[in-house]
Amino acid sequence: MTLKWVLWLFLFGVAHASVAATDSTSFHSGLLELLPNHRSVFNDIQTAQAHTFVQSPLQKVNGQWRYSEGNPLKGRVQSTTYTFDTVDIHLLASRIQQVASQYGLIDQFSCETLACGRSYAWATEIYRNKLLHGKDTHQFYWLWQKEGRWFSVYVTERSNHRLYLHFVELTEAHSRDIAGLSHSASLWSQQGYAVIKIPRLQEDNVLNELSHWLSSKGVKTVAVVGHNHSEQLTADQKRRQSLIDAEQVVAKLPASVTGKAYGLGALVIRKELIDKGWRSWVEVVTEPL
């Protein structure tokens, strides 16, 4: 096991509570922390039957604005426009990308400055909000997706140096990632990794659930981390047994998935699991650093 993996696996367990909070549902809050003295100037929440996101620059062809759109999506759509104090918009754009990466959002499309097309078109044709008409050289757009949620951000600077950011979040009515999965697999998708109590490994359906879940996410590589807090075992025995448990799961992964097994024994304390009487479990992590 490399030092990088040791440190990451340890921090993953110790900081579990904070990691659980930094999922896609918290991205909005993380984004707002970047906007000094922000205030909302527009807000709308609705249920859309066919919402589409822009997935290309805007171009005017034969007098008509042309651009590519994603597939129509059905779900709850929240749209908010913020104005905020002057900052370096290029530095802000870099920080927005960092926050999106931190929250595990998956890039779908992005453009910046002149490559996005005319800011006027974004303001009038896409968002129908003239406040967003800024300088073509000072505009950025991103589209991200994660587990049934879609996020888009358009940020622009007007000629008076006032900055505006338009945020859209769509929560699909039926997530393509978790449709048809069991309650356990749905929970795994929400938190971004699977947690399985060791006694459940003997049940016929739990590994089938895991395989189905991994396939639904298109996962190719996982880390399987074993934990053991049995009172009857020594520290070394806990570590060895947790590794054996992790290896058992790796051996039964789908052929399309590559897994590495790690045994942490009692190194990481998950109070919420121990309080429920769990003494041994494995975590299947799909997004290692």
3-state secondary structure of 70: coil
pTM value > 0.75: no
Annotate 185-242 with DSSP letters as a single string.
HHHHHHHTEEEEEGGGGGSTTHHHHHHHHHHHHT--EEEEEEEE--TTS-HHHHHHHH
**Mean pLDDT value across the chain:** 83
The first and second tokens of residue 229, run together, are 């807090």
> Which residues of the chain have a pLDDT value below 50?
1-4, 6-7, 11, 14-24, 175-181, 288-289
Q: Using one digit for the tens of pLDDT, what is the confidence trace for 8-46? A: 555 455 444 344 334 445 789 899 999 999 999 998 888
Share above pLDDT 70 across residues of the chain, in percent, rounded to a whole number: 82
Please write down the long-range contacts of 243-248, taking CB distance under 8 Å and 24 or more positions apart.
Answer: 245/198, 245/201, 245/280, 245/282, 246/282, 248/201
